[in-house]
Structure 1
Amino acid sequence: MNLALFDLDHTLLPIDSDYEWGQFLVRIGAVDAAEFARRNDEFFAQYQAGTLDPVEYLEFSLGTLASFPQDRLKAMQQQYMAEVVQPAIRPAARALLQKHIDAGDLVAIVTATNHFVTAPIAKALGVEHLIAAMPEVDADGKLTGKLVGTPTQGAGKITHTKAWLAKMDKTLEDFDTVHFYSDSHNDLPLMSIVSHPVATNPNAALKTHATAQGWPLIDLFND
């Protein structure tokens, strides 16, 4: 069996699902538009610059989620999927995922974005396994606004991927081939330890590194 790992934002989707969720909340009037948009833009700029504190950002994002009742969260999640995510899904991304699924590979999305935002996206893409930042919930299942464990970002993707595999009594070394598809240099830690890293719609920093390393480069959004 082979293993195929995928980043999500700007890799399988031509959008940043976390950022767009924030923009969606502003658009529907669920949050204070000026203040939320300011914070959201600041965090996004930090992410692009590689200076983002992932815990600070995740707890800002999860704290926003925790302010809503569960039934409203579910309704907003469904509206967001219909209006923002579903129209963004590209045929080439679906086809690449399906190629690995049809080959019998173990397929997982490994994303720094939180599980609340990404779980319905993984389902829409037909991917059973999702490794994402986990929000804490209380005894009633309500989000508390806190993060469980460490962020699934940078080297954290290695930690969480290995922990996920360990639950199945597997390691990365158990697979003949391990692909990891990503657009970002932030994912170089995990890309550097798999057998088949693939720079997918890469940003400038990753494109430069991938070219120097002789890694394949693909574009899923040029359709």
Structure 2
Amino acid sequence: MELYIFDLDETLIAGDSGMLWHKFLVDKGLITDSRFLAKDTELMRLYALGELQLQQYIQFSLQPIQHLDKGFIDKLVIEFVKRDISQLIYPDAKQLLAQLTAQQKTILIISATVSFIVKAAAELLGVKHCIGVDLVLDDHRYSANIEGIASYRAGKVMRLQEWQTEQREHYTTLYFYSDSINDQAMLEHVDIAYTVNPCPQLSLLAKQKGWPILNWQTHQHRD
């Protein structure tokens, strides 16, 4: 059987869901530090270079909302994906996901974003299976402590292998789509790799490896 795996940020959507979530929280008045978004931009610059320490980013991201109840956050994130993520889905991604769904292929989204965002985004995209960074719950609140293996860099491969052992189906051909050099391990692990709007480092690697480079664009509106 075939398994189609997708990264989320900058692959299926034209943006980073973590950064968009932070902007959403600013809009909601839940982040009031005027320097927060600038710090976020700097951390994501490190991510693009493959130099980000994920635990550092999780602690940064969760700090403003750790006092909030899990149920409140889960409702808030549904509003977030409907307001912000829905506008950024690549048309090519929508078409491919619809095609694979019609063909009854198994689709899995795996992301280094926290699970509560990934699950909401996957539901919006109509994808049943997803993996994100799981967080330890502390008194019905999301903590900044990662539970298990983080789905980041080589951890994505390990989380995929864990997921596969839990499935009744045996997948013999794995496909993976990503934009980021952070996903090199996964791209090399699967049978068929595709790069989507790859970052400069991944673009160079894709040319060396002979991986297809897909150029997905958002709709451009004319005045």
More deviation, 147-156/34-43: 34-43
Q: 1:149 to 1:62 in 2, by over 3 A?
A: farther
Deviation at 1:59, TM superposition (A): 2.6
- The letter of the residue matching 1:214 is G
Match of 1:147 in 2: 146
Offset of 1:95 from its aligned partner?
A: 1.1
Paired with 1:96 and 1:77, the residues of 2 have a C-alpha distance of 25
Q: Distance in 2 between matches of 1:154 and 1:166?
A: 20
Q: What's the TM-score, normalizing by structure 2?
A: 0.90
**Distance in structure 1 (CA, Å) of the matches to 2:140 and 2:100:** 34
Q: Counterparts of 1:6-155 in structure 2 under 5 Å?
A: 6-138=6-138, 141-155=140-154
Q: CA deviation at 1:43?
A: 1.4
Q: Partner residue of 1:163?
A: 162
- Cα deviation for residue 80 of structure 1 reads 1.5
Distance 1:82 1:211, change over 3 A: same
Give the stretch that moved more between structures: 82-91 or 184-193. Answer: 82-91
Q: Is the 8 A contact 2:131 2:151 kept in 1?
A: yes
Unpaired stretches in structure 2, ≥5 consecutive residues:
none
2:175 pairs with 174, 179, 185, which one? Answer: 179
Offset at residue 217 of structure 1 (A): 1.4
SS in 1 for 2:143: strand
The 3 A distance-change label for structure 1 pair 31 and 65 is same
| Deviates most, 182-191 or 53-62 | 53-62
- Please say if residues 122 and 130 of structure 2, whose CA atoms lie closer than 8 Å, have aligned partners that are also in contact: yes
Cα pair distance change 1:143/1:217, threshold 3 Å: same
Shift of 1:85: 0.9
- Is the CA contact 1:55–1:151 (under 8 Å) kept in the aligned structure 2? no
Q: 1:169 to 1:82 in 2, by over 3 A?
A: closer
Number of residue-to-residue matches in the alignment = 219
In structure 1, runs of 5+ residues without a counterpart are none
Tell me the distance in 2 between the aligned counterparts of 1:151 and 1:80: 23
Which whole-Å deviations, capped at 9, do the CAs of 1:38-62 have from their partners, x for residues lacking one?
A: 3312211211222100111123223
The question of whether the paired residues in 1 share the 8 Å contact of 2:109 and 2:130 is answered with yes
Q: 1:125 Cα deviation (Å)?
A: 0.3
Percent identity over paired residues: 28
Q: 1:35: Cα distance to partner?
A: 3.4
Moved more, 144-153 or 158-167: 144-153
2: CA distance, partners of 1:2 / 1:21:
32
State the superposition RMSD in angstroms: 1.8
Counterpart for residue 202 of structure 2: 206
More displaced 10-residue stretch of structure 1: 25-34 or 11-20: 25-34
CA positional deviation for 1:71: 4.9
Structure 1 position 37, deviation (Å): 1.9
CA contact (8 A) 1:62 1:146 kept: no
